[in-house]
Chains A and B, each alone.
Chain A
Amino acid sequence: MQDIKSEILRIEHLYKVFKSGRSFLGSTQKEVVALNRISLSINRGEIFGLVGESGSGKTTTGRLIVKLEEPDDGKMLFDGRDITSIKGKALKGFRRKVQMIFQDPYQSLNPYFSLYDTISEPLLVHNIGDIKAREDVVRQVMTSVGLAPADDFFYRYPHQLSGGQRQRVAIARTMVLKPEFIIADEPTSMLDATISIQIFNILSEIRKKHNATFLFITHSLAAARYLCDRIAVIYRGELVETGSAEDIIQSPQHPYTQALVEAHPRFRCPSP
């Protein structure tokens, strides 16, 4: 059911400060405002891009939404319900619906878990299916992200994989639960162009099939243009513009966005 513009996520004036450079006496303590009261609204079934430079607050936004981090101020609504401070059972239910593909697959994968354990873990945690059913889901998801033949990979550990293979494990792990809302933090930063596009197409496919919603975090305007319906540009913790990718690329308003368009590699491939 594809109803028009029903809002799934709404963020109001989200504010987050980190303390940095802490010394024992606290004298040199400095505050980093990672998010400076950002507001945005994402519709069900949309692929929404968050584009910005390194350190601009993209990952922080994602971590706040999946509730790995507490905001210092502001409000978040999911499906109309205030999720800013949900706990316990409500939080567990929320986590089943909302998943994050973490940026750095070298850090986010448990080194002591085989691939099979890693990818099937969310199913176990949420008590879904029997062994056989879980195995089928895992095999199918692994194949779809290109970890094939899946059985050859089941008993490998993260250190026995290349960077891009780890990244695909991180993607597969979030897909097994068929979440409604997926935050994909630079999900293809380690993949070559042909596989990136494959993954983008898989994400589009999931959107089409399950009407899933995506917050797609990237620093690549070109990737955002390929995949996203709308994008927001974040700069030093503030949203500086929001619109369709095409409009923003054609007529960037903010100086940072202009610089971003400018710096995009003018790489031309020869005509075939």
Chain B
Amino acid sequence: MTLLAVDNLCVGYQTRKGFIEAVEGVSFVLKRGRSLGFVGESGCGKTTVGMALMRLLPDNASIRQGSIIFEGQELLAMPAAQLRKIRWKKIAMIFQAAMNALNPIHRVNDQIAEAILAHDPLATKASAMKQVEDLFSLVDIPVDRMRDYPHQYSGGMKQRAVIAMALACHPALIIADEPTTALDVIVQDQILSAVKKFQKQMNISLIFISHDIAVVADVCDDIGVMYAGQLVEYGRREEVFEAPVHPYTKALLASYLTLDGDVVQPMPFTGVTLNLIDPPPGCRFCDRCPLSDAACSLDAPEYAEITPTHKALCFRCK
């Protein structure tokens, strides 16, 4: 059953230097209980997509086009009062800056208990505290550190506390924006297993944003690869990782650092990231693309369907 359908989403930001086309023509569908991972270069628009889904974009942002249908309702047409019933209770987000989302003047366990009490009318103070304890053991924070203030935590501990906070309200969709960046691989492993467990048990849908392909490969059923505001490749995990077609996806995979084998010689990226103010008409990757020819910079590419579930935005992968 479809939980979320995003169609032709276009989001931009007004700045002193002009209008930044941060997200252009992004479309995808997420079924209940499934997980979708967005990967891509820094600044390619992953957070912007997440914030648009939460309807929490900053003032200088505008959604120029597109639709976001959640549980059959158009979020873009929804009045603020109705949105408030959905945000956090049905769609929760773990922000990229999450480490700093904790209030510095309250103890960490009190903050999470408060979030539970605010969203669950049946919870009591005692039951909320019990839940907090369970959540802390799930994300592996020692119980005797629960009563600390946020500044007493290491970066990783803060991030784990914030993950516990997002799980606290049992939403239907969690958007997790780089939730494990500050964590070492061992803790990351534990958290990802915890996320997967939760997701299956509670049938939560997940949008997982990361720059780390190994992380999304571990957690997500479907993968969207973004580049310069566009979804350049989209498909099942196996399709994208085992048979990638877009040259950027291939570069991303080839740059992945491993513990064995030769130290990679990554694809040399000569060109700079595309300027998103008045981007040129052609393919947004063509300056850096080893396969591009003159035609690539003339017109915008359209999606090539590789399989019914796998598509790519590239002239050369038909």
A, B: real partners: yes
- Using a CB–CB cutoff of 8 Å, the interface residues on chain A facing chain B are 18, 20-21, 28, 30, 32, 52-55, 59, 103-104, 106-107, 143, 146, 148-149, 151-152, 155-156, 159-165, 167-168, 186, 189-198, 219-223, 225-226, 249, 259-261, 263-265, 267, 269-270, 272
The smallest beta-carbon distance between A17 and chain B, in angstroms, is 12
User: Is the CB–CB distance between B156 and A55 below 8 Å?
Assistant: yes
Enumerate chain B residues within 8 angstroms of A260, measured Cβ to Cβ: 184-186
Type the 1/0 row for B12-41, where 1 means its CB is closer than 8 Å to any CB of A.
010111000000000000000000000111
Enumerate chain A residues within 8 angstroms of B152, measured Cβ to Cβ: 18, 20-21, 32
Q: A103-B155, A152-B17 are in contact. Are A189 and B182 (CB under 8 A)?
A: yes
User: Is the CB–CB distance between B178 and A219 below 8 Å?
Assistant: no
21 A-B pairs in the complex with CB atoms less than 8 angstroms apart: A53-B184, A54-B156, A54-B157, A55-B154, A151-B17, A155-B16, A156-B15, A163-B97, A164-B211, A165-B43, A186-B155, A186-B182, A190-B42, A193-B212, A193-B257, A193-B266, A194-B255, A196-B257, A263-B189, A265-B217, A270-B242
Enumerate chain A residues within 8 angstroms of B264, measured Cβ to Cβ: 197, 226
Enumerate chain A residues within 8 angstroms of B189, measured Cβ to Cβ: 263
User: Is the CB–CB distance between B186 and A259 below 8 Å?
Assistant: yes
Most buried by A among B99, B155, B178, B214: B155
The smallest beta-carbon distance between A147 and chain B, in angstroms, is 9
User: Is the CB–CB distance between A165 and B42 below 8 Å?
Assistant: yes
Q: Does B289 contact A (CB under 8 A)?
A: no
Q: List B residues 209-262 near A (Cβ within 8 Å).
A: 211-215, 217-218, 241-244, 250-260
User: Is the CB–CB distance between A162 and B47 below 8 Å?
Assistant: yes
**B95 nearest in chain A by CB position:** A106
Which 5 interchain pairs have the tightest Cβ spacing? A164-B42, A54-B156, A219-B184, A265-B214, A193-B255
The smallest beta-carbon distance between A79 and chain B, in angstroms, is 30
Docked pose: A18 CA to B260 CA in angstroms = 38
User: Is the CB–CB distance between A272 and B259 below 8 Å?
Assistant: no
Enumerate chain A residues within 8 angstroms of B251, measured Cβ to Cβ: 194
Q: Does B74 contact A (CB under 8 A)?
A: no
User: Is the CB–CB distance between B277 and A194 below 8 Å?
Assistant: no
Q: A107-B100, A220-B185, A269-B256 are in contact. Are A191 and B42 (CB under 8 A)?
A: yes
Q: A156-B15, A195-B42 are in contact. Are A225 and B257 (CB under 8 A)?
A: yes
Docked pose: A160 CA to B15 CA in angstroms = 9
Q: Does B58 contact A (CB under 8 A)?
A: yes
User: Is the CB–CB distance between A106 and B178 below 8 Å?
Assistant: no
Enumerate chain A residues within 8 angstroms of B17, measured Cβ to Cβ: 151-152, 155
User: Is the CB–CB distance between B241 and A198 below 8 Å?
Assistant: no
Docked pose: A226 CA to B256 CA in angstroms = 11
Enumerate chain A residues within 8 angstroms of B40, measured Cβ to Cβ: 192
Most buried by B among A165, A167, A193: A193
